[in-house]
C-alpha cells in the first residue's frame, strides 16, 4: 500500500469516484470510510469470508 496524506488522498478518491462513469447515471449518495481499528475488524471479516468460500 502506498502511503498518502489522509485528508488530501481521500478527497482525491472521493472526487474520482463521483466522476467515474456508471450505468444509467446512478451516482452514490454516500461513502463509508473505514480506518484504524475498524479497518482491522473489517479485514478480519473479509479474510474469514474468503477462507470459507475457498
pLDDT computed for residue 22 by the predictor: 72
pLDDT-based confidence at residue 37 (cuts at 50, 70, 90): very high
Burial of 10 (0-12, 13-18, 19+ CB in 10 A): middle
Full-model pTM: 0.54
Average pLDDT over residues 33-52: 91
Q: Say if CB 42 and CB 34 are below 8 A apart.
A: yes
Amino acid at each position: 500500500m502506498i502511503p498518502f496524506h489522509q485528508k488530501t488522498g481521500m478527497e482525491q478518491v472521493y472526487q474520482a469516484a463521483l466522476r467515474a462513469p456508471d450505468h444509467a447515471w446512478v451516482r452514490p449518495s454516500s461513502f463509508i470510510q473505514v480506518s484504524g481499528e475498524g479497518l482491522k475488524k473489517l479485514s478480519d471479516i473479509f479474510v474469514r469470508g474468503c477462507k470459507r468460500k475457498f
